[in-house]
């Protein structure tokens, strides 16, 4: 009898540790509540996918950034593999995720969309613009790398990449009208509209 009680107590401790370490199940698709075309999908396997519509990204095709995520208590962190220190931190509130830096709400797509477009905050818009711009910079850098591999030289401008067929059209940053520039050594895409838009 005593052994049975000890076994049950040990089992209860083990189960509590498993539950405590495993975190909540937050898998599913979420949509940004400010109507900026940004969605976040969290898979049961720990993968995170940020996606912008073609209209919001300023490119002919949707933009998707692949990350991983971890759940700890009431917090979700999404980040590039090996770069957890740069994680986007989201707080779990009921079934929603709240980006703590900008209080941007992501609502599960299965839920009602009533009121999703209410109360757009300036900080929310700024963060969405930054993410879109960063996606553009990655696209330009990838096109530059392909151009260099094929021609053995760097492009003169983003327009050169379009003319050569490495980009379908010149991407635009949603925070301003100035075109992207190519700067530095090694050459990188640069956003003159907001210097904080970096990779």
Looking at the structure of the chain, the number of domains it has is 2
Q: Both 84 and 50 in a single domain?
A: yes
Q: Which residue has the higher pLDDT, 117 or 195?
A: 195
Q: CATH number, domain at 37?
A: 2.40.128
Q: Both 127 and 185 in a single domain?
A: yes
Report which DSSP code applies to 180: P
pLDDT of 116 > 50? The answer is no
Q: Both 37 and 97 in a single domain?
A: yes
Report which DSSP code applies to 37: S
Q: Which of 69, 86, 108 is the last residue before a domain boundary?
A: 108
Domain that holds residue 144: 122-190
Most confident of 24-28, 51-55, 67-71: 67-71
Mean per-residue pLDDT, 148-166:
95
pLDDT of 159 > 70? The answer is yes
Mean per-residue pLDDT, 109-132:
58
Q: Both 79 and 30 in a single domain?
A: yes
| CA-wise closest residue to 56 among 78, 77, 31, 76 | 31
Q: Both 102 and 175 in a single domain?
A: no
| CA-wise closest residue to 130 among 196, 68, 44 | 196
Q: Give the burial class of 63: count Cβ atoms within 10 A of its Cβ; 0-12 exposed, 13-18 middle, 19 or more buried.
A: buried
Q: Both 104 and 127 in a single domain?
A: no
Cα–Cα distance between 112 and 79 in angstroms, integer? 28
Q: What is the mean pLDDT of the chain?
A: 80
Mean per-residue pLDDT, 25-46:
87
Q: How many CA atoms lie within 13 A of 9 on its CB side?
A: 6
């Amino acid at each position: 009898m005593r052994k049975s009680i000890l076994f049950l107590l040990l089992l209860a401790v083990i189960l509590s540790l498993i539950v405590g370490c495993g975190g909540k199940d937050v898998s599913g698709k979420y949509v940004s509540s400010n109507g900026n075309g940004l969605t976040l999908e969290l898979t049961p396997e720990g993968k995170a996918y940020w996606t912008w519509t073609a209209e919001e990204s300023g490119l002919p095709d949707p933009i998707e950034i692949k990350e991983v995520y971890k759940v700890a208590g009431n917090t979700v962190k999404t980040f590039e593999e090996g770069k957890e220190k740069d994680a986007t931190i989201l707080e779990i509130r009921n079934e929603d995720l709240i980006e703590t830096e900008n209080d941007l709400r992501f609502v599960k797509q299965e839920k009602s969309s009533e009121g999703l477009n209410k109360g757009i905050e300036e900080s929310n818009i700024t963060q969405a613009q930054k993410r879109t711009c960063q996606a553009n910079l990655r696209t330009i850098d990838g096109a530059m790398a392909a151009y260099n591999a094929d021609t053995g030289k760097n492009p003169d401008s983003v327009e050169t990449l379009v003319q050569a067929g490495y980009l379908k059209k010149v991407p635009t940053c949603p925070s301003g009208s100035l075109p992207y520039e190519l700067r530095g050594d090694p050459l990188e895409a640069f956003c003159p509209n907001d210097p904080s838009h970096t990779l």
